[in-house]
């Protein structure tokens, strides 16, 4: 692995360095000074601070942001002195600090004596006392923190020459029991972010030198769901929605880290075509992140995919605050950079080619269709604290992901929203005026028609009172055609229309048989034959605020285009 980012940066790897720069640029000098002062006063208590220092140092090693050098040295002194004495999310931080030390050593940007001091401090470190999640018995099966700790301990060995191999093996053994039948990682409540994050870290462990008792089994596990993961990527490059820590700019760099690391493992096995597909997926995800993050001024850049002031916390869980999670996008980008192998050329991502439908295992309860430049993601049994059951994402290649829907609306969100939600909501049917977004769906069939130009999924769901509703979604180049039916009452369809992202308003119009919203140069038009309710209700998700209309009818067409294209 190349630790010196001054040398041999390919065009693909350069994107990761730019993401690191953008993430760091959101922290002004006053922000960094206040952060340092707070930690000096209150002590090291979480991993955002070490990540900030590590990423400054890694960029410094390439001659980038050297204006922050003195602040970087102060942060590293605080971290290397504190980590052996306190448990402050060291599971996350030790790897990052060690990677920074080695990058600075390779580039010669920090004196040998200072490097030696930092290493010596981290040698005096008890893994059993200083990592927060420790596997002590064969029955222990903790969450993803166990993997962070294992990788940190591996890197402490690379940096300092001492590590606890038995500790690493115990941590890994416990995690092998957390995979589902499709090879996805089951953190509690199955959040998509931590499936990808954990598999990325485990793949990196293998590339970083883990050759312990479970290396062979681990290799099989981290590669098993690689194609499924790539096919769950949206046409815009986004990772799937679902669960906590979603719709943040740290998400797609996690995708990149997994795709790059898995591609390197596949290359080593001679599976270059599969590796090329994953490298294409990494390109798509990194391009998305650069495009979205570059659209904001540094002082206005926030870590969540909306444009509310960062101090508002809109879209954030309590733990997911700016100081910790803005710089995490940089940390994840460096993981991708570090494991990007030149052994295979990028091929078109599955998300770019399209023409397929995929279904996860029941624990992750997702179905997705990619056809005709459109991507639709369904949640069939949503976590009410984060999502809703139904069509939760519809995106079009080349169009802004926010003009339609990127994530549904939870009834009881664990993250802060602009306004409270009246209940769960997605693109879904209602029966006798009652939305079915809390009712689990069952996939009945998937069908490819019109010589592969349309893919249709059919679902059925039961609603309170014993009634059932059948749903059909056909996706192709003309957009999405949705139909619903029930023998038990009046069917209507719920239409979430994007309005506000925290700073800018979409242009929303409604008329006879249509609702139209225009935003960021893209247009989403909902057309129908039924009667549109004159009133609407506000619902909010991580991206912003939506108007939700009820359309009294059983058929709805949704089309997304570049502004002007729909009239040409």
DSSP 289-351: HHHHHHTS-GGG--SBSS-S-GGG-BT--TT--HHHHHHHHHHHHHHHHHT--TTS-----HH
Alpha carbons 528 and 363: distance in angstroms, whole number: 34
* Cα 245 off chain centre by: 7
Are 332 and 361 within one domain? no
* Cα 242 off chain centre by: 9
454 to 144, 373, 477: CA distances (angstroms)? 39, 11, 8
Q: What is the pLDDT of residue 568?
A: 43
Which residues, in sequence order, are CB contacts of 61 under 8 Å at separation 6+? 4, 5, 6, 103, 104, 106, 107, 109
Residues 369, 253, 274: CA angle, nearest 5 degrees = 55
Are 180 and 327 within one domain? yes
What H or E segment, with its residue span, contains residue 34?
Answer: helix 29-42
Cβ burial 179-192 (10 Å sphere, 16+ → b, else e): bbebbbbbbeebbb
Q: Which pair of structure tokens corresponds to residue 95?
A: 């790897």
DSSP H stretches of helix in 61-144: 69-82, 90-107, 112-123, 127-130
Are 31 and 148 within one domain? yes
Are 126 and 146 within one domain? yes
The number of helix segments (H) and strand segments (E) in the chain equals: 16, 18
4 within a domain of the structure (yes/no): no
77 to 36, 39, 101, 249: CA distances (angstroms)? 11, 12, 12, 29
Are 266 and 370 within one domain? no
Are 306 and 362 within one domain? no
The SS3 of residue 180 is: coil
Are 493 and 381 within one domain? yes
Are 165 and 280 within one domain? yes
174 to 137, 145, 148, 218: CA distances (angstroms)? 9, 11, 13, 11
Burial, 441: exposed, middle or buried (Cβ in 10 Å; 0-12, 13-18, 19+)? Answer: buried
1 within a domain of the structure (yes/no): no
6 within a domain of the structure (yes/no): no
Handedness of CA 349, 354, 357, 363 (dihedral sign): positive
553 touches 519 (CB < 8 A)? no
431 touches 488 (CB < 8 A)? yes
Domain boundaries, position 426: 354-567
Q: What is the pLDDT of residue 11?
A: 60
Alpha carbons 272 and 286: distance in angstroms, whole number: 21
532 within a domain of the structure (yes/no): yes
387 within a domain of the structure (yes/no): yes
Q: How far apart are the first and last CA of the chain?
A: 51
Examine the fold and report which residue of 300, 323, 351 is the final residue of a domain before the chain moves on: 351
Examine the fold and report which residue of 351, 379, 401 is the final residue of a domain before the chain moves on: 351
Examine the fold and report which residue of 351, 378, 401 is the final residue of a domain before the chain moves on: 351
Note down pLDDT in tens along the chain; length 568 residues: 444 554 444 567 999 999 999 999 999 999 999 999 999 999 999 999 999 999 999 999 999 999 999 999 999 999 999 999 998 889 999 999 999 999 999 999 999 999 999 999 999 999 999 999 999 998 999 999 999 999 999 999 999 999 999 999 999 999 999 999 999 999 999 999 999 999 999 999 999 999 999 999 999 999 999 999 999 999 999 999 999 999 999 999 999 999 999 999 999 999 999 999 999 999 999 999 999 999 999 999 999 999 999 999 999 999 999 999 999 999 999 999 999 987 889 999 999 999 999 999 999 999 999 999 999 999 999 999 999 999 999 999 999 999 999 999 999 999 999 999 999 999 999 999 999 999 999 999 999 988 779 999 999 999 988 899 999 999 999 999 999 999 999 999 999 999 999 999 999 999 999 999 999 999 999 999 999 999 999 999 999 999 999 999 999 999 999 998 755 4
Alpha carbons 183 and 178: distance in angstroms, whole number: 9
Are 286 and 358 within one domain? no
Percentage of residues in the chain with pLDDT exceeding 70? 98
Q: How many domains does the chain have?
A: 2
Burial, 278: exposed, middle or buried (Cβ in 10 Å; 0-12, 13-18, 19+)? Answer: buried
Q: What residues pair up with 475 in beta bridges, in sequence order? A: 455, 480
For β-strands 522-528 and 555-562, DSSP reports them as antiparallel
5 within a domain of the structure (yes/no): no
Alpha carbons 58 and 432: distance in angstroms, whole number: 59
CATH of the domain at 122: 1.50.10
Are 419 and 512 within one domain? yes
Q: What is the pLDDT of residue 515?
A: 98
What H or E segment, with its residue span, contains residue 525?
Answer: strand 522-528
CATH of the domain at 401: 2.70.98
């Amino acid at each position: 692995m190349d630790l010196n980012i001054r040398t041999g940066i390919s065009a693909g790897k350069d994107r990761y360095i730019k993401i690191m720069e953008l993430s760091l640029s959101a922290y002004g000098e006053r922000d960094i000074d206040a952060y340092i002062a707070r930690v000096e006063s209150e002590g090291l208590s979480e991993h955002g601070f070490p990540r900030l220092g590590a990423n400054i140092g890694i960029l410094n090693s390439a001659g980038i942001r050297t204006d922050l050098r003195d602040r970087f040295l102060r942060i590293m002194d605080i971290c290397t002195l504190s980590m052996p004495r306190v448990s402050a999310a060291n599971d996350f931080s030790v790897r990052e600090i060690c990677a920074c030390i080695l990058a600075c050593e390779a580039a010669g940007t920090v004196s040998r004596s200072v490097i030696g001091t930092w290493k010596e401090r981290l040698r005096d470190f008890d893994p059993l006392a200083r990592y927060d999640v420790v596997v002590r018995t064969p029955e222990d099966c903790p969450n993803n923190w166990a993997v962070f700790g294992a990788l940190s301990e591996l890197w402490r060995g690379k940096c300092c020459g001492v590590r606890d191999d038995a500790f690493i093996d115990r941590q890994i053994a416990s995690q092998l029991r957390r995979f589902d039948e499709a090879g996805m990682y089951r953190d509690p409540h199955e959040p998509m972010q931590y499936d990808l994050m954990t598999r990325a870290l485990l793949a990196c462990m293998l590339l970083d030198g883990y050759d312990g008792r479970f290396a062979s089994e681990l290799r099989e596990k981290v590669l098993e769901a690689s194609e499924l993961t790539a096919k769950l990527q949206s046409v815009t490059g986004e990772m799937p929605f679902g669960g906590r820590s979603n719709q943040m700019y740290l998400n797609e760099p996690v995708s990149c880290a997994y795709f790059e690391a898995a591609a390197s493992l596949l290359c080593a096995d001679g599976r270059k075509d599969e590796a090329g597909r994953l490298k294409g997926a990494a390109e798509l995800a990194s391009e998305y992140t650069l495009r979205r993050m570059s659209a904001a001024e540094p002082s206005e850049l926030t870590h969540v995919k909306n444009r509310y002031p960062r101090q508002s916390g809109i879209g954030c869980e309590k733990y997911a605050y700016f100081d910790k999670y803005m710089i995490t996008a940089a940390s994840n980008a460096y993981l991708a950079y570090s494991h990007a192998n030149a052994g295979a050329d990028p091929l078109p991502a599955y998300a770019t080619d399209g023409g397929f439908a995929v279904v996860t295992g029941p624990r992750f309860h997702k179905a997705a269709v990619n056809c005709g430049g459109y991507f639709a993601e369904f949640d069939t049994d949503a976590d009410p604290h984060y999502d809703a059951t139904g069509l939760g994402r519809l995106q079009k290649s080349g169009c802004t992901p926010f003009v339609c829907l990127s994530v549904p609306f939870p009834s009881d969100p664990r993250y802060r929203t602009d306004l409270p939600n009246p209940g769960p909501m997605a693109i879904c049917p209602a029966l006798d005026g009652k939305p079915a977004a809390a009712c689990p769906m069952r996939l009945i069939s998937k069908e490819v028609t019109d010589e592969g130009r349309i893919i249709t999924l059919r679902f059925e769901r039961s609603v309170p009172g014993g009634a059932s509703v059948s749903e059909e979604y056909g996706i192709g180049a003309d957009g999405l055609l949705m139909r619903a039916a029930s023998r038990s009452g009046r069917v209507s369809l719920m239409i979430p229309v994007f309005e506000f992202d925290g700073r800018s308003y979409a242009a929303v119009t409604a008329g006879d048989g249509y609702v139209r919203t225009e935003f960021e140069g893209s247009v989403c038009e909902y057309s129908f034959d039924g009667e549109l309710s004159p009133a609407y209700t506000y619902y909010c998700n991580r991206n912003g605020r939506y108007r939700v209309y009820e359309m009294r009818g059983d058929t709805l067409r949704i089309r997304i285009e570049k502004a002007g294209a729909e009239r040409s």
